[in-house]
Amino acid sequence: MAGFLHGSARTTPRVRAELQASKETSGALAKRYGLSRTTVAKWRARTNTADAPMGPRAPASTVLTPVEEAMIVEFRRRTLLPLDDVLGCLRDSIPKLTRSSLHRCLLRHGISRLPNTEDAPAKKGKFTDTKIGYVHIDICELRLSSGKLNMFLAIDRVSKFTYVEFRDDAGKMNGAEFLRGVVSAFPYSIHTVLTDNGMAFADLPKNRTGPSRTYLGPHIFDRVCAEHGIEHRITKPYHPWTNGQAERMNRTIKEATIRAFHYPDLDALRGHVLAFVSAYNFAKHLKALKWRTPFEAINLAWTKSPEIFKINPRHLIPGPNT
């Protein structure tokens, strides 16, 4: 019990119990224990020996308004994001919000700790430092009861800028056309592309050398890369995690669309995915970018290395007719 005493306490639980059980006068007890009459009277009037709770009876923030606290609590409960991610997402909406005030707010409402999950935490890695223009490309399927969509996705390793297209199939011609679309969509030059070993991006290993390559020539995806001066790198077979940026973005899109909503048809799904990617590029604050959006990261790169850009990236800002 002594470990829970108030820092300025003059009595211990044992002394308090003796005061409550004694029949002597308050003056005699005060003289014996070296206490004031007020202290003796206080403890003789109580029925327990524990310190009373300190601080305000109704804790409230001196920085945040009740409406702002309600926003924080609802955002945390709906998203279950970590503390730093919540801070990054709400910084624009609540400019006076700090990490300490956010933590105290969550603590007051009993949601400072996220619920435990059975999944083991993934081993975190870090990409080697590179400059903007290193693009990861992948394909995934978005399925509904009425059919499926083949989504081609490209995401820049540095800026996190994302571009998607939907194709009828995942063949090599569509892979080459998608790369041309990526080159046109990105406002800066792309120097490296990383893909897996899918048929849309590479030949089978047995056809990459020897007579097959001599007679058939390079894969059409490689020809488009050579046309734009892009280095094409391929992941190690059966190691999809080496293309983790694209794999993670595929999962993010699925979690925000088909795993959270029901769609009447494929056109509705297609429109929602495109809207989500646009919001991601221009409004999503990412921890990996020091809480900038991908568009803000591109603008920062524009100020440092304008020579690698084909157009002013500010021309990409969505307008009333886009």
> If pLDDT is split at 50, 70 and 90, which confidence band does 295 have?
very high
Average pLDDT on 14-27 reads: 92
Q: Which residue has the higher pLDDT, 87 or 212?
A: 87
What confidence score (pLDDT) does residue 2 get? 44
What confidence score (pLDDT) does residue 1 get? 42
Q: Are 163 and 181 in contact (CB under 8 A)?
A: yes
Residues contacting 66, CB < 8 A, separation 6+: 60
Q: What gap in Å lies between CA 311 and CA 126, rounded to an integer?
A: 30
- On average, the pLDDT of the chain sits at 87
Q: What gap in Å lies between CA 58 and CA 269, rounded to an integer?
A: 47
Q: Which residue has the higher pLDDT, 219 or 240?
A: 219
What confidence score (pLDDT) does residue 28 get? 92
For the CA atoms of 77, 161, 287, 195, what is the dihedral angle to 10 degrees? 100
Its pTM surpasses 0.75 = no
What confidence score (pLDDT) does residue 80 get? 85
How many other C-beta atoms can be found within 10 angstroms of the C-beta atom of residue 37? 13
Q: Which residue has the higher pLDDT, 4 or 153?
A: 153
Q: Are 61 and 104 in contact (CB under 8 A)?
A: yes
What confidence score (pLDDT) does residue 321 get? 60
**Is the model's pLDDT at 30 over the cut of 50?**
yes
Tokens 């019990």, residue located: 1
- Taking phi over 0 as left and psi of -120 to 50 as alpha, with beta for the rest, 158 belongs to alpha
pLDDT in tens, 193-206: 999 988 899 887 77
> If pLDDT is split at 50, 70 and 90, which confidence band does 3 have?
low
> Containing H/E element for 153?
strand 147-156
